[in-house]
């Protein structure tokens, strides 16, 4: 990490200034406009820069450019798509440190986490470069002797991708890489809180030689975002919507997309339980729970949201967890030793604190934290709360912040009932050394991803997606590229 200087605080300290783009990318070129919105550093509350806000006309132009690029790109050879994505991955690796610095400046996560995320983003590009060459069809035994039956996979068409602010680098590559590998142009709208890392990644994709119009970038303000969403869902040219964000917005997009019968992929958040059974390796369980709870200040869709602990080990578990939490170091992500960054903005900070207050009014007890930190930036103290009953707001709602909420249970069946007592089903974790119990519990949990005695369970080779109201479809793995492919059947008759 030779470039990393921990006194860095502004965009001017990024080594490669050409990576900092504050405009729109449409039809293969960068442009700016009169309407702009500020991008803040959540650790300092200072404005980093102002970014052009795309409007409805810009969105329509981006779709037009993607439409022009579609006929040629859909017919491009898989080896060529492999080449574009491989070059993109190499450029990401070559600019890893600058990208990580940019990510920490606008998102706030500690630099070590930012470096990990950018590396993760690169792995999606590598994985889907290879998957471009593995798109396969098949033949079927004919029902008549003069027929040939073939099934092929073809690109869905032009897609609109909407990415969140909590993992703004890896979400870009996780959506764009499979689309590009499949042969689909994309119009990308990043979160208004983190447009800079998305723009830097698009600039690197442009340098990789991707044809004009195949990818277009539309940063826009929070106020303008719903209008762009309507443009996407009302367009006859957009064949797929890929969205990661809140359930509220996702449901709106689903209703709108129904009008054009657009294909959708939705990842709408979670309410992940972590069950700690009496036969768990207690210290290991505490370490894993703390990792899943406080990574990225708790702003993770698969973060532990409800900690369910067997009554017999509750005192010991709480003692170990509180000790672990006390070791967290809140602060600016560019400061050495910091392990807990800020939450993304003032709205998030207020929401988290209001949840904690409401939880206490409903009978929960704060053992540590429970306050905003008295310093600049959107910092909330790492918090531990017990006596969280199923009717408590912390049990029902996704916290999305550095607040650990603990409940107790007495039996395995009760733990499973509590864990499944949610409309969400994205991720679930449990800790036990009993092999038979592990099999039973893993089968009973209603979640799209289940972690047994582990916390870091996701990677580019596995599908990421949930059950129930946590979304539709999967990203990552071979399943991720299937979301961008349609199935077509050919029946060919020949003379006898």
The CA distance from 436 to 412, in Å, is 12
Helix 78-94 and helix 96-107, axial crossing angle in degrees, nearest 10 = 70
Return d(Cα 385, Cα 364) in angstroms, integer: 7
The DSSP code sequence of 196-226 is HHHHHHHHHHHHTTPPTTSEEE----TTTHH
What gap in Å lies between CA 125 and CA 85, rounded to an integer? 6
Distance of CA 427 to the CA centre of its chain: 13
Q: Which two tokens stand for residue 468?
A: 């129930």
| C-alpha–C-alpha distance, residues 490 and 254, integer Å | 31
Which is nearest to 173 in space by CA: 117, 101, 106, 211? 117
Q: What are 468's strand-pairing partners?
A: 424
Answer whether 216's CB lies under 8 Å from 25's CB: yes
Distance CA 336, CA 174 (A): 29
Sign (positive/negative) of CA torsion 6, 12, 15, 19?
positive
The active-site residue, picked from 106, 192, 267, 460, is: 267
Q: Give the active site residue among 301, 393, 412, 483.
A: 301
Helical spans, DSSP H, in 95-144: 96-107, 111-131
Encode burial over 31-41: b for 16+ CB neighbours within 10 A, e otherwise. eeeeebbebbb
Contacts of 489 (CB under 8 A, 6+ apart): 149, 150, 151
Q: Which token pair is 394?
A: 């912390």
415, 277 in Cβ contact below 8 A? Answer: yes
Helix, strand, or coil (residue 155): strand
267 part of the active site:
yes
Residue with tokens 């590559």: 173
Residue 140 structure tokens: 């079927």
Is 454 a residue of the active site?
Answer: no
- How many C-beta atoms surround the C-beta of residue 98 within 10 A? 21
Token couple for 269: 């958040």
Number of residues in the chain:
496
Backbone angles phi, psi at 26, to 5 degrees: -135, 130
The residues, ordered by sequence, that sit 6+ positions from 409 with a Cβ below 8 Å of its Cβ are 275, 308, 309, 310, 311, 415, 418
Residues tagged active-site: 267, 301
């Amino acid at each position: 990490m030779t470039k990393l200087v921990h006194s860095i605080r502004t965009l001017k300290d990024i080594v490669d200034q050409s990576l900092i783009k504050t405009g729109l990318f449409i039809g293969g070129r960068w442009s700016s406009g009169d309407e702009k919105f500020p991008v803040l550093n959540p650790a300092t509350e200072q404005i980093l820069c102002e970014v052009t806000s795309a409007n409805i006309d810009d969105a329509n132009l981006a779709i037009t450019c993607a439409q022009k690029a579609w006929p040629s790109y859909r017919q491009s050879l898989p080896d060529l798509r492999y080449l574009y994505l491989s070059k993109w991955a190499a450029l990401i690796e070559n600019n890893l440190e600058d990208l990580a610095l940019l990510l920490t400046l606008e998102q706030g996560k500690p630099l070590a986490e930012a470096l990990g995320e950018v590396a993760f983003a690169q792995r999606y590009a590598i994985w889907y470069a290879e998957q471009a060459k593995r798109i396969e069809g098949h033949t079927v035994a004919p029902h008549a002797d003069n027929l040939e039956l073939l099934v092929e996979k073809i690109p869905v068409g032009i897609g609109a991708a909407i990415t969140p602010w909590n993992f703004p680098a890896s979400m870009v590559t996780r959506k764009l890489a499979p689309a590009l590998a499949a042969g689909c142009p994309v119009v990308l709208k990043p979160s208004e809180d983190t447009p800079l890392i998305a723009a830097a990644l698009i600039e690197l994709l442009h340098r990789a030689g991707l044809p004009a119009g195949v990818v277009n970038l539309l940063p826009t303000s929070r106020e303008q975002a719903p209008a762009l969403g309507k443009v996407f869902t009302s367009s006859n040219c957009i064949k797929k919507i890929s969205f990661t964000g809140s359930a509220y917005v996702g449901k709106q997009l689903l209703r709108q997309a129904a009008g054009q019968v657009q294909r959708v992929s939705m990842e709408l958040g979670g309410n992940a339980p972590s069950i700690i059974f009496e036969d768990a390796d207690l210290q290991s369980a505490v370490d894993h729970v703390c990792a899943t709870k406080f990574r990225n200040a708790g702003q993770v869709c698969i973060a532990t949201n409800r900690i369910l602990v067997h009554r017999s080990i509750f005192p010991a578990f709480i003692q170990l967890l509180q000790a672990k939490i006390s070791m967290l170091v809140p602060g600016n992500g560019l400061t050495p030793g910091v392990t807990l960054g800020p939450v993304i903005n003032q709205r998030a900070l207020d929401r988290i604190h209001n949840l904690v207050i409401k939880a206490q009014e409903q009978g929960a007890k704060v053992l540590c934290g429970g306050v905003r930190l008295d310093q600049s930036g959107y910092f909330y103290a790492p918090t531990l709360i017990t006596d969280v009953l199923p009717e408590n707001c912390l049990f029902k709602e996704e916290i999305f912040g550095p607040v650990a909420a603990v409940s107790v249970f007495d039996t395995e069946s009760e733990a499973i009932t509590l864990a499944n007592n949610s409309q969400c089903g994205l991720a679930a974790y449990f800790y036990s050394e009993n092999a038979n119990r592990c099999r039973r519990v893993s089968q009973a949990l209603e979640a799209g991803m289940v972690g047994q005695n582990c916390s870091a369970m996701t990677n580019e080779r596995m599908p990421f997606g949930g059950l129930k109201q946590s979304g539709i479809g999967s990203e990552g793995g071979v399943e991720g590229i299937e979301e961008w492919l349609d199935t077509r059947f050919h029946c060919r008759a020949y003379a006898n």
